[in-house]
Amino acid sequence: MPVLPGAEPYRHEGGEVGVLLCHGFTGSPQSLRPWAEYLAARGLTVSLPLLPGHGTRWRDMQLTGWQDWYAEVDRALRELLERCSQVFVAGLSMGGALALRLASKHGRAVSGVVVVNPGIKVHGLAAYALPVARHLVPSTKGLVSDIAKSGVEEVGYDRVPLHAAHSLRDFFRLVDTGLPQVTQPLLLLHSTVDHVVPPADSARILSRVSSVDVREVELEHSYHVATLDHDAEQIFDESLAFIGRLAPSVGKKGSTTGG
């Protein structure tokens, strides 16, 4: 299947500091593309992969599960680790959960974690219905483009494949179990109004990680897809400042532009 316009993966060869960006469930790299290009323009090496089953049509996602999505970001991280002296992981929504899982598994190889409106649990009745419902109906109505800014659209699926959603539930449980193994510096940004992920998810992450260096930022003017919303520039600036503090070579003339 051809990839939807705008949903293509993105890669930029920059300097010795690398950043892996992970997009969300039923979403695509398009939701993080401006962030990726912002970091690339400032000399960082950036990897923004397209997760298996995403960016084409929702039926393709029915055939994939969390193991496929995690394997793709793990592969991308290993590529960056071979190429860069320091690597950071970041993500939006489920991409935040993927970033946290990578941090818990790779330990000191990951220098820091940035998550935006991270999801950690499937909430409500849906969580209990999924094991049975996925065998009865293939999909349910999705929620894309939860964006306050007018005229901005997210490239993603308007249907949620239930087999994939069930796998997501299992993955969230794994990530939650591994949160105490997350020790890296953490920057967590979350919207005060989010129609997809409740604030309880961010609160749980902050209460369970073992990170000592933690910064929490509230995004007051954006909904769930904050990376395409009114607070996008704040997210980009905060993440660059966070990375720059932990990787002092960032921003110094001639230090991040070489191959």
What is the per-residue pLDDT for 128? 67
Q: Let me know: does 196 contact 143? Beta carbons within 8 Å.
A: yes
- What are 179-206's pLDDT values in tens digits? 999 999 999 999 999 999 999 999 999 9
Catalytic member of 23, 201, 224, 239: 224
194 as an active site residue: the answer is: yes
Q: Which three-class secondary structure state does DSSP give residue 240?
A: helix
For residue 62, count other CB atoms closer than 10 A to its CB. 17
Residue 136: which pLDDT band, with cuts at 50, 70 and 90? confident
221 as an active site residue: the answer is: no
What is the per-residue pLDDT for 257? 43
Q: How far apart are CA 16 and CA 55, in angstroms?
A: 29
Q: How far apart are CA 259 and CA 255, in angstroms?
A: 10
SS3 content of the chain, % helix, strand, coil (to 5): 40, 15, 40
What is the per-residue pLDDT for 134? 73
**Average pLDDT taken over every residue of the chain:** 93
Question: Residue 259: is its pLDDT beyond 60?
Answer: no
What is the per-residue pLDDT for 125? 59
Average of per-residue pLDDT across 47-67:
96
- What are 206-223's pLDDT values in tens digits? 999 999 999 999 999 999
pTM of the prediction? 0.94
- What are 82-130's pLDDT values in tens digits? 999 999 999 999 999 999 999 999 999 999 999 999 999 987 656 667 7
Q: Nearest-CA neighbor of 27 among 89, 92, 88?
A: 92
Burial class of residue 175, CB neighbours in 10 A (0-12, 13-18, 19+): buried
Catalytic member of 31, 93, 104, 191: 93
What is the per-residue pLDDT for 140? 85
Residue 23: which pLDDT band, with cuts at 50, 70 and 90? very high
Query: Which domains occur in the chain, in start order?
Result: 10-246 (3.40.50.1820)
Residue 253: which pLDDT band, with cuts at 50, 70 and 90? very low
Catalytic member of 194, 201, 229, 231: 194
224 as an active site residue: the answer is: yes
- β-pairing verdict for 10-12 and 45-48: antiparallel
61 is in an annotated binding site: no
Q: Let me know: does 178 contact 208? Beta carbons within 8 Å.
A: no
171 is in an annotated binding site: no
